[in-house]
A and B are shown apart, each in its own frame.
Chain A
């Protein structure tokens, strides 16, 4: 009996000790982690592991790019490197990095998402100028995906406001990507109506009245349009639309409107994590190499627009290069755009009345 009691006492003490040490002494914890990282650093001459936290549609792009990069790193720097990919909604991926997921680099859909990580202190300020072209090695834009033969003759944004057109478009209140769709339509309406805001509001009001299914994200909207056969037109990222057409060449075609928006997915090193993991150099090489000719080709093949003009032009059969593209700067940057359009009670709430 004494023995039994002893055992239970020891067990309880051990449990208490673990709990106490887990919550009280975080400094000891992180220092031991540091020394572990340091000893890892010594062994890192052999193999480096890099974690790239990205958003949903870039999965195939980075699969191809990582293969290329691993070869390049081995031949140029003589070391082995492994890249771990993580994909999800851009906003929730940013949130997971802030909450402590071990990303060495982030490659997200919006500069705004990276700014949020910067505000948490994990990324040094000035990341936007760390790499060329505001740290966006590739771009994309917003296009229409319509059913083969374009039965409703949807050529441009104003065709989408006609009666009886059913639009599938994700909810800008929950999907970062869907904000681009709204802004592209807004810019078209402003241009058409001589910058008259009231008329532009009327235009987007009509447009969003035609939206029959408002999914929570871009992938959900694609499923609704492609798999479930809803609606006449899907307002989508060009790279997603290209993938859908590649998969079902007999069922869909892409229409590029006269005005659209230049979406600039951004990349950055998560400085705090990379320093801790001893991967800062490798992370820099990883992101810089995205601008190389070979990488830019892979980018084009995966449906993103390369930023290298020459290589972009070689894909002119794939991308409509005559579209008039505005950028987020035309709206005063993301923070201003959110405030004007998407915050509670802002323009989107005003035009999407119910």
Chain B
């Protein structure tokens, strides 16, 4: 056995070429070819038609709604995801395991079920919803409802991104900061937070990307009113598909894809910059 390993990298799984081949095959079949076909479909529109479609009032307003609501939801998720991860890592309490498992439930639950349940709960006749509406806040069928649905589906991303980093964080940093006389606020913002920031950003990016394209959970709670600006982009795409208008549907999808990609790209750049700054210190 020793002889065989000589001159190679120490790989446990044999056959670099085979595994790479499978990887390329899977990536092509599942990601590259479908994406390319989106491109091909959307090029059936002439540039003038494309511009007219993308600048149509309802399409622009849907893009605004999707992006703004997902940004707000991702922000909320980052804050609460951090708190949740903190509680799960730093403290021992009964039911901790169960709570830990519950975090992933939004992944397992069919999004349409979540959407219907949330819209019922937060409508002005539902349980928490009626208290909200009695103080004048309508949740279901408004943009707030969209944000609620997106917070629901996005929370696992931030928690699961931050949790492992927090677990590995050496308690000595905290202790050192404490010994050097930093108060808890300074310790958190100057010592712990910079360590967590990259993973928090990853979670933020994933939740954001997921939220921008989300359909199932949003569709029931949003009310889909063009007048109130509660149509999301994925709904407009479905409208076009319903009419067999594949070209328009894929054209909007293409723009959506570019926006998501750009956002993730920007997030990556920020992370790389920070990593450089930290390693330069």
Residues of A within 8 A of B (CB): 1, 4, 8, 11-12, 15, 19, 89, 91-92, 95, 116, 171, 173-176, 211-216, 220, 223-224, 227-230, 344, 352, 354
> B225 near A213 (CB under 8 angstroms)?
yes
Contacts of A352 in B (CB 8 A): 226-227
Asked if residues B225 and A11 are in contact (CB atoms below 8 Å), the reply is no
CA distance A307 to B140 in the complex (A): 41
Binary contact readout B21-48 vs A (1 if CB under 8 angstroms, 0 otherwise): 1100100000000000000000000000
Closest to B57 in A: A354
- Give the chain B neighbours of A173 by CB distance below 8 A: 239
**Contact between chains at A228 and B238 (CB < 8 Å):** no
Q: Is B244 an interface residue (CB 8 A)?
A: yes
Give bound CA distance, A220 to B25, whole Å.
40
Q: A4 to B140, alpha carbons, bound, how many Å?
A: 60
A338 to chain B: closest residue by CB: B243
Q: Nearest Cβ distance between residue B4 and chain A, in whole angstroms?
A: 5
CB–CB A228/B120 < 8 A = yes
> In B106-131, which residues have CB < 8 Å from any A CB?
116, 119-120, 123-126
Contact, CB under 8 Å: B244 / A116: yes
Given A15-B25, A223-B116, A228-B126, does the pair A8, B238 have CB atoms closer than 8 Å? Answer: no
Query: Whole-angstrom distance between the alpha carbons of A255 and B22 in the complex?
Result: 62
In the complex, how many residue pairs between chain A and chain B have their CB atoms under 8 Å apart? 79
- Tell me whether A212 and B15 are in contact (CB under 8 A): no
B interface residues, Cβ below 8 angstroms from A: 4, 14-15, 17-18, 21-22, 25, 56-57, 116, 119-120, 123-126, 140-141, 219-220, 223-227, 229, 235, 238-239, 241-244
B14 with A174: CB separation less than 8 A: no
A95-B244, A174-B235 known; A228-B125 Cβ under 8 A: yes
CB distance from B235 to the nearest CB of A (A): 7
Chain A contacts for B120, CB-based, 8 A: 227-228
Which residues from chain B contact A176 at a C-beta distance below 8 Å?
242
- Docked Cα-Cα span, A215 to B21, in Å, equals 46
Contacts of B242 in A (CB 8 A): 89, 91-92, 174-176
- Residues of B with C-beta under 8 A to A1: 4
Question: Contacts A8-B15, A213-B141 known; A220 to B220 CB distance under 8 Å?
Answer: yes
- Closest residue of chain B to A94 (Cβ to Cβ) is B244
